[in-house]
Every structure is written in structure tokens, then in C-alpha cells.
Structure 1
Amino acid sequence: MSCLCKYHDELISTRRHLHTMPEEGWSEFTTTAYIVEKLRKLGYEVLMGKKVINPDNCLGRSQKVVDAGLAYARKNGVSEALLKEMDGLTGCVGVMDTGRPGPTLAIRFDIDCVPVTESTDADHIPAKEGFCSTRPGLMHACGHDAHTSTGLAVAHWFADHKDEMKGKLKILFQPAEEGVRGAAGMAASGIVDDADYFLGAHIAMMCKTGELSVKPYGFLCTTKLDVTYTGRPAHAGVEPNAGRNAMAAACNAFVQLLGIARHGSGMTRINVGQLIAGEGRNVIPSHALMKMEVRGETGDINQYMYDAAVAIIKGCAISQGCEYKIEKMGEAVDLTNDEELVDVLTKAGEAVEGMTVRKDPMNFGGSEDATILARRVQAHGGKAALFVIGANRPSGHHTSKFDIDEKALDQGLAVWTNAVKEILG
């Protein structure tokens, strides 16, 4: 097979283009259109809308955000015909069938950004070299621009080498990974139910440029929750006794949630990231919104954290005479890689010059909703694995100065193409 050098410029230019136009989860209509057009030019069958996302299983999807994404897409010249095909749902799947008997491989790349304002400091390479985010408050601060660029380069490579392959390739471009919201709807569509193999990857994290983690652990199960307290307003001076203080319920819950006893059998996490409450200085607060999450090393431990949180939320509502509502906004599960695919990834990495394969378990230390797709494949009898492609970074994920060493893009593409070749070649 030919050298991967021909895809280098495409990898870099695509990543940098996407970096300038970040879109938050469920609003990625412009990004989806960009991907669709490239896939169609390469000869892929492209599936969109309800064919790849079950709207009944979408988590944390705000119509306000969707509408803003549609407006941004129209501003960017995305055609009404293409928006109609998307049917209000972002993300897509490119399918290429070689026409020769063989397995079906599904590979997944996420496409959304993070609600962070990007640095414009002179030492920040995207600012220095002119590919900073053009959208204040939104930034590709977790590497999903690199993921999408890599997915499109893999698509190009596979189309070029289709005649040397067997079976079928499905390339999933998943929306709304941030907040672990998008995979549930994609999995529920059934798009991976026929997959014999599933692979997904993340760039950077705990690995440096030149490292490949084939056995990461610590994909924490998580449940993201929006908690709403509803009380009763009253004049804070004349008749405070007539009020029911929603802010007090939320504040009490906030403090108590952080005090949940940690589980002895594995890692746990809990965070309240936002609390919005009250109407005015002299009004007993009648509304409070708390955005929070729990995490656990296993499903059982995460359930322990969830159950404890619900008990506190309910108790604090009762203590203040308030009503409460809990909405699930996102979720992810844990995953153990199938050894067959660990071997495939090890071989794929060892064939890349300058790549060190880390076979020792490395702690991912976060949540990733590709696990939901992976577990769906495993539940239907297939094999699945997630891996990490190392990349040096000057700042942490989800920070304003996050960036990646672009050398990692070439190494990552080599690992991906080697793995695809091993399974479908």
C-alpha cells in the first residue's frame, strides 16, 4: 500500500479548518454538512437523521441550541436540502461496502466542541498561526477537531484502497460527546448492531506524542443530572413564612452531595458544576437549577452514587417544602477491551515508526460515551476496544490554551489504517 504522506496536508488543513468553527453538542449542523460533502465525494453511502440517531434516546438536547446551530449553518451556506436530510439531528455515518465477504467494522469519531473561550495569547499556536476559534465561548478544547480530521483521512484512505479490502466499513461521526449525551441516541438507532468489530480512540489525555495506549482503564461510568427545585415566592420582609425556599433546598443539597461516603470497591466522583437560583433580593427564591454529575468505576458503584444523590436531593426538597425534578442529561458506561482487538491495536502500533505501544493498563480517568456504542456491539456478539493516541499538549483538556502536537495526527492515522487493514484487509 502507498505511503500515508499524501494524506498529511489533508489531516492538518481539515483539523485547522474545523478548529475555527467549533459547534457544541446537538448544534453541529455545519460540521456535519462538511463531513457529509467529503464522504459523498469519496463514494460513501451517507446516513443521517433518524437513520443514525434515535431521537427518543437523545440526552441533554436543547431546542434552543438546535435552533442556534441551524441558524449558524444557514449563515455558513449549508443548503436547505441537506438540512432537511439531517432532520434536526446532527452527526452522520459513512458506509462503504467492498462487495466482498468479510466482517463489518464500525469506527467512531466525535465532532462537538467545549464551551470554552479560546486564548488569543501570542504563544498559543492556533492564535499565532491564524486558526483560532472564531466563536467566543466555544472551542475545540478536547481534540475532537483532530478526531474528525482523522476520521475523514481514514475514509479517504479506505476509499483509495477499497479494492484491497473485504467486508464493510462504517465510519460514525458522533455528535454531543461532551456531557456524554450523543452516543445513547446513536446506539439506540441500531446503526452498530451488525458490527463484528468496533474501535474508538481519544487523542492526548494521559499519553505523550509517540505513545499508544491499547489497554486504557478507568472509563468511569457516569450519570449527568439537571435538578430543578420549585418552591413558592413570598415577600422576604412582610411574609417570609409563606415562602418555600428553593435556593435553600439546592444549597443544602449541594453541601450534602459533596459529603457522600466514597465507595470502598472503586473510584467515585461527584460534582455540582452550576447552581442558578433566585429572583430578587427581597423575594423568597422559588426556583433553583443545579447541574451535577456522579461517576463510578463500575456500573454498580455509579448506581450507588446516583442513589445516594437522589436521596439527598429528595430529602432537601422535603425539608424546605419544595418540589423537585431530576432529568438525566448524559450517561456513559465502563468498558473492558476485547483481547482480540488489543492484539490488533498492538500490532498496528508496533508497525508505526517512532511509536511506543503501552500495553500496561493506563488510567483514562474520565468518562467517554463511546463506551455505550462499544458495549452495544459487545451485547450483539461483536468485539470492541477503545485506545488512546498520545499527543503532547501545552495545557490541559477543556482549557483555553489546549492544543495538540500535530505530529500525532500522522501517527494516529497510521495506527488507524493499520488496524483497519488488519481487520478488513
Structure 2
Amino acid sequence: MPNRDLQGILESHFEWFHRRPELSNQEHETTAHIREILEAAGIEILDVPLKTGLVARLKGSISEGPVVALRSDIDALSITEVSQSPYPSEHPGVMHACGHDFHLTSLLGAAVLLQKERDTLPGAIKLLFQPAEEGGNGAQQVLDSGVLDDVQEIYGLHTSAEHESGIIAVSPGAVNAAVGAFRILLHGKGGHAALPHFCLDPIPAAAQIISAAQTIVSRTISPFDQAVLSITHIEAGTTWNVIPPEALLEGTIRTFNTERLSEVSEQLEKLARGIGENMGLKVEYSWQINTVATNNDPLLSGFVADTARNLGFTVVPAVPSMGGEDFALYQQRIPGAFWTIGVGSPQALHHPGFTADPAALSTAAELMAALGVAALRRMADNPERAL
């Protein structure tokens, strides 16, 4: 059964954050409100050199005990909301379409629960309200600050539109994809559309690249691997009777294996250069890896599942997602587990109609708090079980 007193408080906070979404690295109002709530609860806020976002700490009586981190993200997306929420976004063109308002509200709830038993904690719990998860380099900013250097384990949550409200999903191994972004710029020679023989038209080359790129995954990647290549941005020309001098293609590649990610990019570059240069064009290809795959520690993902069941929650295996998640950067340095909670949305993440059911807030908060306490006690009582 949900904690009804806590649930009411969290729904009020959730409404406030949902109405006021802010983009990556611009979460000033969000950060200020989180700080206000934590300070009112008497929770210590650490001095961390972050422009937005913050880190709080709850410390028990054992000064040299273990340290666990609980993480949420706080930024929104550049999407115009069309959901049926009774309290839609008040910021035009920006909405919480990925549930970050749900995540941060859940972590605030965990903070309230943990504060009540702070004196009994055999160590410290750091509460990370991370900025700029949506491609804004937020996790790296936090890691560069050094605030997590003493952390032994880290846990994060995410909303799931696939599951009914309150269902916990967690699995070992890769649960979110490694993500890369590519950019192909084709340089030709523009001119009159009636005189194509005097031009080097980049549009036919772009069309061939788009078509041929779809064979990379189906014909160069093992069927036992999983990969996605999507071209999502095409730009060429400004009017109907002029052949443009350039054409731009952008998109993303996603796999559950970072090495495979780079292999697909290499195949795409060869293909683009071959087609473009064969048609007399100059080809510029650029590529960046935005994040590696989120890879759950097997022992800690089992620990999340056991803790959730002990609280009486329903637990199911997580559905692997080709969506990226920069929680993966923490896992490269700190053993960690990333779990999801069903919010019963009628639409998928990043859709303008996405709606997170606030009824699951107290469930998420209780599990986050329980993970922090149980992890500290496990490590304090059994140091050999600390990873």
C-alpha cells in the first residue's frame, strides 16, 4: 500500500515540476526549488561546482562508513506538450516527456524517508539531482566535480511507459544502448535546376546514401547482435528551381556494444564517401559517441529485485531499450544498477502525449530509500559483499 501522507506531498511537488520544465543546463528554477525543499527538510546540500543540479547528503553516526549514491535527472525536452495532464507545461515548446520530473520527485521523497532514520545510517547516502541528461553532458559534469569519488555503489531509476503503474523492472547486463551521432555533409556545385549538367547535385547522392544505409545493419551486422541506424535530419536547398551546393544528413547509431557502435559508424562512413565521391562530391563525415551502454551489475540488479520484493512490490525483467542513458558513465567507475518503474503512460517516452501516473511516486521513493539503507547495511555488516 502506498504511503498516503508521502504520496500527497509528492504529487504536489510533481505538479510543480511538471508545470515548469527546463532544458539541459538551463534548469535554474528547478534546481532552486529542489534546494528549497531539501533545506526545509534540514538535509545537507554539498558545495559542488555545478551550474545546475545539486548533490545532497544524509550522513549517519559512523564517520568512516560506506557511501552510496542515489541518482535522478532533472532536465526536460524541446517538445510541445499535447498530453491529457491536468497540469500541462507552462513553458511553450518544453515538456517533461521523459519522466525526469517523476524521477526527481521520487528522489525528494526518498530524501524525506531517509532523513527520518538518518542517525541510524551506518554510512552516508548522496542524493544526486543530475542536470543535462538529454545530451547535455550532465553525468560527465558530475563525475568531473569529484563528488562521487568516495561512492561504492550507485542506483538510478527511470519511468517505463511499457509497464503498468508501480511495476518494478530490472535485469542484469545491458539495458540501455550505447548511442552515437553522425553528420554527413555533401559538398557539390549548385546552379539552375534546368541546367543540372553544369552542377554537381548533392541530392541524388543523399538519396542513395539514405537508401543504402539501411543495408548496413541488415547485411553487415550479425543477426545475433542488435543495432539501429536512423537518419533523422535531412537538409538541402531553399527553393524549387535551384540545385543546392550542399546537402546535410544527420542521425544516430545505437547498439548494446560500444565496439559494435564504432564498427557501424565506420561502415556508414565508407558507404557515404564511396557514393558521394563517385558522384564528384566532397564528403565530410563526423561522428561522436554520446554515451556507452548502461550495463547493470548482476549482483546489484538482483539486489534491487530482492529489495523491491521485500517491500511487497511486483518485479519483472526489464525490457532492453535502444534509448541512451548517461547513467552508464557512472557505471564505468562505480558498480551500479539502473531500474525502471511503470507509469502507465498512454504514449511512449519522448512523445508529446507522454504522461507519468503520479500514483507510483511513493513506490519509487520507498524503493530508492530502501536501496540506500539496505546497501549501506550490507556493506557495513559484510565488507566482503561490497563490490
Scaled to the shorter chain, the TM-score interval is 0.7 to 0.9
Listed as ranges, the matches of 1:268-279 within 5 Å are 268-279=227-238
CA separation of 1:231 and 1:351: change in aligned 2, threshold 3 A? same
Residue 323 of structure 2 is aligned to residue 371 of structure 1: no
8 Å contact from structure 1 (residues 333, 371) kept in 2? yes
Q: Which moved more, 1:15-24 or 1:183-192?
A: 183-192
For the aligned residues, what is the CA RMSD? Answer: 2.7
8 Å contact from structure 1 (residues 212, 357) kept in 2? yes
| Identity percentage of aligned residues | 24
Aligned partner (choices 328, 333, 337) of residue 297 of structure 2: 337
Name the aligned partner's letter for residue 301 of structure 1.
Answer: R
8 Å contact from structure 2 (residues 194, 241) kept in 1? no
CA distances 1:355-396 after superposition (whole Å, capped 9, x unpaired): 2122x464345332211212221xxxxx21111122222222
Deviation of the 1:137 alpha carbon: 2.5
Deviation of the 1:244 alpha carbon: 4.2
Listed as ranges, the matches of 1:4-403 within 5 Å are 4-41=3-40, 42-48=42-48, 51-52=49-50, 86=51, 90-100=52-62, 101-119=64-82, 124=84, 126=85, 129=86, 131-179=87-135, 181-215=137-171, 218-229=174-185, 231-236=187-192, 240=196, 243-260=199-216, 261=219, 262-319=221-278, 320-328=280-288, 330-339=290-299, 341-353=300-312, 355-358=313-316, 360=317, 362-377=319-334, 383-403=335-355
Aligned-partner SS, 2:114: helix
8 Å contact from structure 2 (residues 80, 93) kept in 1? yes
CA separation of 1:39 and 1:246: change in aligned 2, threshold 3 A? farther
Aligned-partner SS, 1:363: coil
In 2: Cα distance, 1:329 partner to 1:294 partner: 9
Aligned-partner SS, 1:385: strand
Name the aligned partner's letter for residue 336 of structure 2.
Answer: A
Counterpart in the other structure of 2:371 = 419
In 2: Cα distance, 1:322 partner to 1:28 partner: 41
CA distances 1:21-79 after superposition (whole Å, capped 9, x unpaired): 1222233222222223333443322344xx35xxxxxxxxxxxxxxxxxxxxxxxxxxx
8 Å contact from structure 2 (residues 175, 294) kept in 1? yes
Deviation of the 1:216 alpha carbon: 5.6
Aligned-partner SS, 1:376: coil
Name the aligned partner's letter for residue 206 of structure 2.
Answer: A
Q: Which moved more, 1:167-176 or 1:407-416?
A: 167-176
CA separation of 1:45 and 1:404: change in aligned 2, threshold 3 A? closer
In 1: Cα distance, 2:145 partner to 2:202 partner: 38
In 2: Cα distance, 1:185 partner to 1:311 partner: 34
8 Å contact from structure 1 (residues 179, 224) kept in 2? no
Deviation of the 1:180 alpha carbon: 7.5
In 1: Cα distance, 2:206 partner to 2:131 partner: 31
Deviation of the 1:197 alpha carbon: 0.5
8 Å contact from structure 1 (residues 39, 46) kept in 2? no
8 Å contact from structure 2 (residues 292, 329) kept in 1? yes
Q: TM-score, normalization: structure 1?
A: 0.78
In 2: Cα distance, 1:200 partner to 1:419 partner: 10
In 2: Cα distance, 1:162 partner to 1:300 partner: 43
Give the total of aligned pairs: 370
Counterpart in the other structure of 1:410 = 362
Aligned-partner SS, 2:224: coil
8 Å contact from structure 2 (residues 167, 341) kept in 1? yes
Q: TM-score, normalization: structure 2?
A: 0.85
Aligned-partner SS, 1:258: helix
In 2: Cα distance, 1:373 partner to 1:285 partner: 44
CA separation of 1:361 and 1:118: change in aligned 2, threshold 3 A? closer
8 Å contact from structure 2 (residues 294, 326) kept in 1? no
Counterpart in the other structure of 2:380 = none
Aligned-partner SS, 2:94: coil
In 2: Cα distance, 1:303 partner to 1:212 partner: 33
Deviation of the 1:239 alpha carbon: 6.6
In 2: Cα distance, 1:233 partner to 1:189 partner: 48
8 Å contact from structure 1 (residues 218, 363) kept in 2? yes
Name the aligned partner's letter for residue 143 of structure 1.
Answer: G
CA separation of 1:242 and 1:24: change in aligned 2, threshold 3 A? farther
Aligned-partner SS, 1:402: coil
Query: Structure 1: 5+ residue runs without aligned partners?
Result: 53-85, 378-382
Name the aligned partner's letter for residue 389 of structure 1.
Answer: I
Name the aligned partner's letter for residue 322 of structure 1.
Answer: K
Aligned-partner SS, 2:215: coil
Deviation of the 1:199 alpha carbon: 0.5
